Amino acid sequence: MTKTRFRAAVALTLAAGLTLSACGGGDDDASGGGESTTLSIVGFAVPEAANKAIAAEWNKTPEGKGVRFQTSYGASGDQSRAVVAGLKADYVHFSVASDVTRLVTEGLVDETWDDGPTKGVVSSSIVVLAVQKGNPKNIQGWDDLIKPGIKIVTPNPASSGAARWNALAAWGHITANGGTEEQATEFVKKLFANVVSLPNSGRDATTGFLNGAGDVLLAYENETILATQNGEELEWIYPDTTILIENPGAVLKNANPKATEWLNFVLSDKGQRQFALKGFRPIIDGVDTSGIEGAQDPSNPFPAPKKLLTVESDFESWSALSKKFFDEKEGIVTKIIAESGKAQ
């Protein structure tokens, strides 16, 4: 697929918003010999390709045979609010746990959604620094991002979960390496001073960067791998300090019973294998990670970072960090972006 066709396909998918598909077979599979089941999936933009691949594999099983999917993908926070406003969903797949918590507060998802072995997490990745081909600005790590003249692309934390992971990784680069919170605040201020594009979602940020915006993109590792799989020419740096991105998934209270079977498959070896093939890091042990096209080193597609931060170990909880960093009025990152004049 050419770059133009890939970008056009992404744009068309996002513009459509809702799509209906039957995966893993023709009309006979979709009908299953009778009335088919349709599951409504609402997710953040980044895992769409992986979810489609998982659906195709599930449709090959007795449990998934004949199941169709109505899907909606976009910025994580926007998608969560849309479900609250009435967008139909049997299963949600968001970037951050706080977007599921919103549904719990509204009575749409059970409070026990994160009681399982993976604590509600269905996919994972890490924050990397993507650069233009050849790395013309010689970006090697976080400290290079605050140099004069560096142009950064990152999505808007007001709408995007990916943006929140990026900001936490930048903050942790300072606090996890002996710096104070005051120094971390100053670093994040300098970083956002160099931001030239603040799109609504992680996928929008990736598309803009591939179209030439900026010198460096704060991105999910899986986004860089997927873009490379689709013929894009970009490179990425693994910073010495990064954060484990943990994306939650949940079945809604009023969901079709098939949604629980879908979630079980997503969490299985076969489901996680499909995530891995699209660049996500498996969340369970023993998953085959061979043959990951687009990875920098196919023999080691998911290298261990020198220092890997986690929400639980370094930021207490999503509830605590959401208030501290992303509160609509008093959040540290919210105020920094507002003061920068770059909030959309």
Pairing of strands 18-22, 68-74: antiparallel
- Please check whether the domain covering 38-123+246-278 is classified as CATH 3.40.190.10: yes
Dihedral angle, C-alpha 154, 299, 289, 47, nearest 10 ° = 20
For residues 96 and 240, give the distance between their C-alpha atoms in angstroms, rounded to a whole number.
Answer: 23
Domain ranges of the chain: 38-123+246-278, 126-244+304-340
Both structure tokens of 169: 């990784």
For residues 242 and 127, give the distance between their C-alpha atoms in angstroms, rounded to a whole number.
Answer: 6
pLDDT > 70: percent of the chain: 89
Please report which confidence band the pLDDT of residue 35 belongs to, taking 50, 70 and 90 as the band edges: low
DSSP 21-52: EE-SS-HHHHHTTSPPPEEEEEEESTTHHHHH
The label of the residue with tokens 């710096």 reads 179
Average pLDDT for residues 58-85, to the nearest whole number? 96
Lowest mean pLDDT segment, chosen from 3-17, 57-71, 216-230: 3-17
Sequence-distant (6+) residues with CB within 8 A of 212 are: 132
Pairing of strands 216-220, 18-22: unpaired
Sequence-distant (6+) residues with CB within 8 A of 306 are: 240, 241
For residues 36 and 313, give the distance between their C-alpha atoms in angstroms, rounded to a whole number.
Answer: 44
| Domains 38-123+246-278 and 126-244+304-340 are alike in CATH topology | yes
Average pLDDT for residues 279-307, to the nearest whole number? 96
CA distances to 18, 147, 220, 331 from 267, rounded to whole Å, are: 24, 42, 20, 33
The number of helix segments (H) and strand segments (E) in the chain equals 14, 11
Please report which confidence band the pLDDT of residue 344 belongs to, taking 50, 70 and 90 as the band edges: low
CATH class, range 126-244+304-340: alpha beta
Please report which confidence band the pLDDT of residue 343 belongs to, taking 50, 70 and 90 as the band edges: low
Q: Indicate the pTM of the whole model.
A: 0.89
Both structure tokens of 291: 């043959």
pLDDT tens digit sequence for 142-192: 999 999 999 999 999 988 888 999 999 999 999 999 999 999 999 999 999
Please report which confidence band the pLDDT of residue 89 belongs to, taking 50, 70 and 90 as the band edges: very high
Please report which confidence band the pLDDT of residue 203 belongs to, taking 50, 70 and 90 as the band edges: confident
Res 19 pLDDT > 80: no
Give me the pLDDT at residue 275, please. 98
| 3 state DSSP class of 247 | strand
Res 23 pLDDT > 90: no
Give me the pLDDT at residue 40, please. 98
Please report which confidence band the pLDDT of residue 20 belongs to, taking 50, 70 and 90 as the band edges: low
Of 327, 318, 331, residue with least CA distance to 113: 318
Give me the pLDDT at residue 36, please. 84
The label of the residue with tokens 């050849």 reads 134
| 3 state DSSP class of 282 | coil
Res 52 pLDDT > 90: yes
Please report which confidence band the pLDDT of residue 120 belongs to, taking 50, 70 and 90 as the band edges: very high
Beta bridge partners of 18: 72
| 3 state DSSP class of 8 | helix
Res 30 pLDDT > 90: no
DSSP 203-237: HHHHHHHHTT--SEEEEEHHHHHHHHHTT--EEEE
